[in-house]
Structure 1
Amino acid sequence: MKKLVLVLTLNLLFLGCNKDVPKLSFDELNIEQVSEMNCNPEEENCTFIGIKVPWAMGKDTRSNLLNSHIEDHIIKLIDYQDAKELNSLENLAQTFIDDYEASAKEFAEYNIPWEAFVEGKVTYESEKLISIQFDLALFTGGAHGYTSITFLNFNPETGRLLSNKELFSQDFKDFAEKRFRKNNDIPENESINSTGFFFEGDKFQLPQNIGFYPNKVVLRYNAYEIASYSEGNIQLVFKMEEAKKYFKIL
């Protein structure tokens, strides 16, 4: 009898471990805040912050973890001073407005509105990977604003962030470097920085931001990462079919 109970228990455990994980469901989180200081609504010339991003709707640990990564990412994108403890996107939005108004009061002649806007979208979703793109436009005074495109890649079963090492084999880096050199006319026998790039240690590195789409993979170097601001953003784009053999999880 004990053996039968043990067999039944093991079977139940086996079935439980292989139970399909429900697909994540996303809604849109939308936060907007506008300052009334130096605001001219008719000309749409007001300081504002807008956040419109995918938000996992479940109440489980997986959804909460994924959302916390999204929240942390957006705070790092917009918190240009990186000097305050911001624990929510609502807190971030209010702090952005407060900082502008404090600056406007301190400098009476300061009347140029600030702007911050982040828009996110799911660009790829499968049983093994969710890729989310974030478009940032930020202006807090100065000669010019800043724009960037960043990506977060998640394990759909756990909500955990996936690193480049978990996504690609080591050979992918060599594959990407060859394409980078070809696109930027850098001879194979020359230093990767020989034409003006500034990769750390004079060695090619994959960017922090790699995004997935149904038919392509995008490697994105944002302004200042490997070149001056005047060079703008630099991208490598691979067709999904040619990059597939380097994937570890897809």
Structure 2
Amino acid sequence: MYLYPEFNIAFTVKKLVSPLILLLFLAGCQKDTPAPEFEALIIDEVSDRDCDPDEENCAYISLNIPWVAGTGARNKSINRNIEQHVINILDYQEENNFSSLESLSQTFIDNYETSAMEFPEYNIPWEASVEGRVLTNTPEIISLEFNLAIFTGGAHGFSSRSYINLNPQTGEILKNEDLFTADFKEYAEGVFRVKKEIPEGESINSTGYFFENDSFYLPQNIGFLKNKIILRYNAYEVASYSEGGIQIEIPREEATDFFKFL
């Protein structure tokens, strides 16, 4: 049975310095930068319209995501990137102009109630949830995972799993080109072909995948755990909806030589 808690946010003498000395000083400062301390940011909104919790038919949106405690430019950058990521994956109408997670959540409920009033004969409760967790929090990289489930009517809902990787010193997003050398793509394609049993010498799409231009590419979503790397293609990205998400796991020690952030 779904629980519908009340709206809640848990946030719970001048002299010249040689370039070499300056670089060593900066490197030491970065090395000593404490890791961010994550807590949970929880936002729950439930519609009052036609809501019967006992029947589990209430429209709701529920967010439970990592959030950094404390102030400072680095921490603010991390939280800003987390917030924007969640907005992007939840922006089901592609409006993408929300100023905060709170405004997005309230808009989701407002849109449901408007739809329920205009089309009462099709009144099916909407549901949306995002569950996030910290996979890695080290001086080299911060890796976060987000699981989305959303239903706003239609034949079926939509779910996805996404990742963001952050620079622990600045809080800024690390893109694939920041994470890996150019050779990693070829290595990952070899792993993909073996795990998905694509015959040697055949095109990447020969068994039913639909990589654009019949050419392998890394997914947008790559997560880092202590002992493995996750390459995640969500539904519709390289295969049909019926295939669901395509996930490849690579032992971390096998790919270390391709890392650029170490």
Tell me the TM-score normalized by structure 1. 0.93
Determine the C-alpha separation between the residues in 1 that align with 2:256 and 2:18. Answer: 40
CA contact (8 A) 2:41 2:64 kept: yes
- AA partner of residue 33 (structure 2): V
SS at match of 2:187: helix
SS at match of 2:236: coil
Matches within 5 A, 1:108-187: 108-187=120-199
Which residue is 1:88 aligned to?
Answer: 100
Which residue of 247, 256, 262 maps to 1:244?
256
- AA partner of residue 229 (structure 1): Y
SS at match of 2:132: strand
Determine the C-alpha separation between the residues in 1 that align with 2:18 and 2:69. Answer: 33
CA contact (8 A) 1:37 1:101 kept: yes
Which residue is 2:4 aligned to?
Answer: none
Which residue is 1:190 aligned to?
Answer: 202
CA contact (8 A) 1:38 1:111 kept: no
Q: Are residues 71 and 94 of structure 1, via their aligned partners in 2, closer, same or farther at CA, if it must alter by over 3 Å?
A: same
CA contact (8 A) 2:35 2:137 kept: no
Percent of counterpart pairs with the same letter?
52
* CA-based RMSD: 1.9
Count of paired positions: 247
- AA partner of residue 218 (structure 1): I
TM-fit CA distance, 1:185 = 2.0
Which residue is 1:44 aligned to?
Answer: 56
SS at match of 1:6: coil
- AA partner of residue 239 (structure 2): A
Q: Which runs of 4+ in 1 moved over 3 A?
A: 7-16
SS at match of 1:227: coil
> Is there any run of 5+ residues in structure 1 with no aligned partner, and where?
none
CA contact (8 A) 1:218 1:236 kept: yes
> Is there any run of 5+ residues in structure 2 with no aligned partner, and where?
1-12
Matches within 5 A, 1:64-83: 64-83=76-95
Determine the C-alpha separation between the residues in 2 that align with 1:132 and 1:114. Answer: 26
Matches within 5 A, 1:218-237: 218-237=230-249
Q: Are residues 182 and 53 of structure 1, via their aligned partners in 2, closer, same or farther at CA, if it must alter by over 3 Å?
A: same
Determine the C-alpha separation between the residues in 1 that align with 2:60 and 2:41. Answer: 17
SS at match of 2:54: helix
- AA partner of residue 195 (structure 2): N
